[in-house]
Amino acid sequence: MDWKKVAVPLAAVIVLLLLWELLVWAMGWPDYKMASPSDLWPAFLRYQNLFWLYGWQTLWRTVVGLALAVVFGTFLGMIMGLSKLMNDALYPLLVGFNAIPKATVVPVIALMFVGQHDFNTILMAFMISFFPIAVSVSIGLSTLEPEYRDILRSLGASRFTVFWKIALPKTLPEFFGALKVAATLAFIGTNLVEIITPHGRGLGHLFQSAQTNSDFPLMFAVLLALAFLGIVLYYAVVALERIFAGWAVRTAQ
């Protein structure tokens, strides 16, 4: 194991926290105006049960929404990448949909599916994260060199064989690159629903409660917890990338 890959990011986090602490101390900000890292640990300890409960609720909804985005985004990207007609037809629709601020979509979803809190949260995580996956897969497939396809077809390979042996592996680097972006977007979608339509669940609800009570240390502790979950999910994607597309990672290095 290369310890630099652990030590360097950890050192960067420590430096950031130290600079944050120094900035708050230098500016003389009280904790009701700007919390410092030293104010966050007491908040974590005081509400640790809520952090475990709400953190799990946010995480599993995000992962489910992201998984649905992977399935749908990959399928849609395949259609767009293998058919220029479908690409020309669907791409403007996807761009237009992605341009809509998702904060304005949350109330619409809440009214359409009243009381379906888990479904609404998963749906928003899915809606906000499938776009980069679909685009990356479509670009990867559409840029497939026609020579490879023609050679395999001349040898009697079916369209499915061409896709499975050449097209699909070629899209993996683009796919995992988009998945890293989609993982963070999924958390944004989850927390939009938890904050805008409060239903007593998730870290977004805990943040909203802290904001209502002007508890700045708790607010920043929630933000730090969200950042931690995002990093965990990011490195989970990195681990999958090394398993399924390790050749691309080694080539890049």
**Contact criterion met (CB below 8 Å) for 225 and 55:** yes
Taking the C-alpha atoms of residue 177 and residue 166, their distance in angstroms, rounded to an integer, is 19
Q: Please write the tens of the pLDDT for every residue from 213-231.
A: 888 889 999 999 999 999 9
DSSP H stretches of helix in the chain: 4-27, 37-46, 48-82, 84-99, 102-112, 117-142, 146-154, 159-162, 168-196, 202-212, 216-244, 246-252
With cut-offs at 50, 70 and 90, classify the pLDDT of residue 65: very high
In a domain, 20, yes or no: no
102 is in which domain, residue-wise?
A: 36-252
CATH number at residue 228: 1.10.3720.10
Q: What pLDDT is stored for residue 157 in this prediction? A: 66
In a domain, 25, yes or no: no
In a domain, 48, yes or no: yes
With cut-offs at 50, 70 and 90, classify the pLDDT of residue 55: very high
Closest CA to 143 of 84, 58, 217, 219: 84
In a domain, 31, yes or no: no
CA atoms within 13 A on the CB side of 152: 17
In a domain, 209, yes or no: yes
Amino acid at 104: T
In a domain, 8, yes or no: no
Q: What is the pTM of this model?
A: 0.86
Radius of gyration of the chain (CA): 22
Residues in contact with 170: Cβ distance below 8 Å, sequence separation at least 6, in sequence order: 140, 141, 144
In a domain, 72, yes or no: yes
With cut-offs at 50, 70 and 90, classify the pLDDT of residue 112: confident
Structure tokens at 122: 């998963």
With cut-offs at 50, 70 and 90, classify the pLDDT of residue 27: confident
Q: What pLDDT is stored for residue 152 in this prediction? A: 67
238, pLDDT greater than 60: yes
The domain tally of the chain equals 1
Q: Please write the tens of the pLDDT for every residue from 119-144.
A: 999 999 999 999 999 988 888 777 76
Per the model's pLDDT, the better-predicted residue between 51 and 28 turns out to be 51
Q: Please write the tens of the pLDDT for every residue from 142-182.
A: 776 666 667 766 767 666 676 677 777 778 888 898 999 99
In a domain, 5, yes or no: no
